[in-house]
Structure 1
């Protein structure tokens, strides 16, 4: 879902819910010249006006928000929405946005290390009585947080580089790259690296949801194209529908294409 203010987020979420979609998602790019909504606020607004559909940031740039506050925000949204949050996290792709908002630009290594540390802190706050964590980038000191989540809130990462893919397999519940940021030809090897990292960490590869963010329009070959992505191991497809005619496309995909895949 675009974060543009030209789109009514509640109407879009309600329409997606009525059409049987599993979740709606939004990107996290607070700086820019195109009018947009802040992603977390918009997701909360959509969740408050729907009943079933899941909500997901695709993905929160970790440098924008302290991990401990993200843990609190996520627990609250998941609780108030009845357990409908997927917490998407990423290292932050746009250095220009960081500069514009007065945020120090992390190096590529700092982005990956900061992402891993953020997950450790968030999970610690969600599960422990008080969390102390001293990382190279982030830290908390004997931090209590109540209430704890009623369930294991899934954390999915939008990652691409080798070290970031290793972090995904080691710590995350899901992997959601974007087709275009990674080529179709590169995806199988990247997925293999995520699953291999999970195995090295003593985890089952089956515990990692492999999702793909893909731009699509309904057409004669759409079902075949998406079926090929499922055959590659992507069991969740996050469909980005470009305008114009977005509403019609969303409906056509739900009624004509997705029944062929489910």
Structure 2
């Protein structure tokens, strides 16, 4: 469902400041997607993470950044929210927010921060996430009266140009449950959560998400990894040639839905190998799996090729007026509605699938009739959603895209690509509809619906994100009637 990202995990050692600049530039040059910087404000040998992230963002054009993860006990959530939103504006929407509840309490206390019990730390982080999201949401002054944090009429803003993902570093049950209930992403590290431990942790996240009425698949799985490149395979995780790395990482995508791998390089050549040998092989392996799993009628182009998408330079949204930025964010809000409805379809599908397993022999006929009605209900919902997506794309094709072409000729390659992707998604919508028809005739056909929905979700979510990255800024800047 999530686009696959590969990145670099950097340690902000002050004496290696110039090396960090060089590593960030190299990470972007070789095509990595994201850089994570650990955050330990009590460590005197480290650069301040937010200062470093700001400098690195200013020296790059495309690569994303996130604190991996921010020490919330030493960074008041209201201030952290404004810092993250500010950097997202200044970088053109390239910031995600990793957060942690605190672990090194002696260091936190030495800096004047609170010393919290595990339960208090989890409760405080939950409040902090609520505070940050409130300040990213347009509206009136915000009041919040928590046990650990308060807002007394704080005005929200500035507003980030894209929806900043809140990714939680979590290992223990309480934190994993918090991640499932509220977070956009989960960030474990292989040093503290070996691959064989991920299954039990992931199950806690998934269960908490389902209990909260959320689709667990919407939670990004971000894995900080380290290893050794060598000609011969060693006994440990990520110890051997790039092909072994690719096989092991692809397995984690398949088993646990990991979609972001952030590697701590031993030397700079590791970044080049990771980007140019490991990442393409993982993507190719997953592409083969998806094509093999696709049902007849599902387009083989379901996995949209990120590397071939045209990208254009854009103005800094911070230079535009609030009214202009609001105009650009309208597209994101429309897309968010599609994302939320897609999650509801997946939730409904899994409810149907769970009900199917409860058919009892003595009530088989009644239960089959009941499930048939459930299938028809799900099919009606999916068909309605397909019409909404088709209508949205038709409006874009017939009104928004021509207006953008006329106003800025350089957008033509991007618009051409978006129109091609509309055709791919139209084919996937047709495939989902065909799978629903088959499911009504054959209850076992629900597996075909799941495969068709997975293909649609992967393509649609990737497409929406690409469209936002390329069109929010011109829509904000250009005065168009769309």
Q: Which moved more, 1:157-166 or 1:138-147?
A: 138-147
Q: Secondary structure at the residue paired with 1:186?
A: helix
Hey, what does 1:81 align to over in structure 2?
91
**TM-score, reference length from structure 1:** 0.93
Cα gap change, 1:30 to 1:146, in 2 (>3 Å): closer
Q: Which moved more, 1:191-200 or 1:146-155?
A: 146-155
Cα displacement (A) at 1:7 = 4.4
Q: Greater share of helix residues, 1 or 2?
A: 2
Q: Aligned match of 2:109 in 99, 104, 112?
A: 99
Hey, what does 2:249 align to over in structure 1?
226
Q: 5 Å matches for 1:23-34? A: 23-32=34-43
Cα separation, 2, equivalents of 1:10 and 1:32: 20
Q: Aligned match of 2:82 in 72, 88, 103?
A: 72
Hey, what does 1:259 align to over in structure 2?
280
Check conservation: 2:42, 2:110, Cα contact below 8 A: yes
Q: Aligned match of 1:241 in 250, 256, 265?
A: 265
* Segments of 4+ moved more than 4 angstroms: none
Cα separation, 2, equivalents of 1:96 and 1:250: 34
Q: Aligned match of 1:122 in 132, 157, 180?
A: 132
Cα separation, 1, equivalents of 2:161 and 2:278: 35
In terms of Rg, which structure is larger? 2
Hey, what does 2:480 align to over in structure 1?
none
Hey, what does 1:157 align to over in structure 2?
168
Q: Show CA shifts across 1:199-246 (max 9, x none).
A: 22121122111111111232323222222322222121111123xxx1
Hey, what does 2:225 align to over in structure 1?
214
Cα displacement (A) at 1:11 = 1.8
Q: 5 Å matches for 1:188-199? A: 188-199=199-210
Check conservation: 2:82, 2:158, Cα contact below 8 A: no
Q: Secondary structure at the residue paired with 2:115?
A: coil
Q: Secondary structure at the residue paired with 2:99?
A: strand
Check conservation: 2:134, 2:156, Cα contact below 8 A: no
Cα separation, 1, equivalents of 2:99 and 2:30: 27
Hey, what does 1:166 align to over in structure 2?
177
Asked if 1:53 corresponds to 2:63, the answer is yes
The number of aligned residues is: 258
Check conservation: 2:41, 2:71, Cα contact below 8 A: no
Cα separation, 1, equivalents of 2:79 and 2:279: 37
Cα displacement (A) at 1:186 = 2.0
Q: Secondary structure at the residue paired with 1:235?
A: strand
Q: Show CA shifts across 1:100-122 (max 9, x none).
A: 21322111111101110000010
Check conservation: 2:136, 2:160, Cα contact below 8 A: yes
Q: Show CA shifts across 1:49-82 (max 9, x none).
A: 1000000100001100111001111110001100
Asked if 1:143 corresponds to 2:143, the answer is no
Q: Which runs of 5+ in 1 are unaligned?
A: none
Q: Greater share of strand residues, 1 or 2?
A: 1
Cα gap change, 1:261 to 1:7, in 2 (>3 Å): farther
Q: Show CA shifts across 1:142-198 (max 9, x none).
A: 111233223211110101111111111111100011112123222111111112211
Q: Secondary structure at the residue paired with 2:151?
A: strand
Hey, what does 1:131 align to over in structure 2?
142
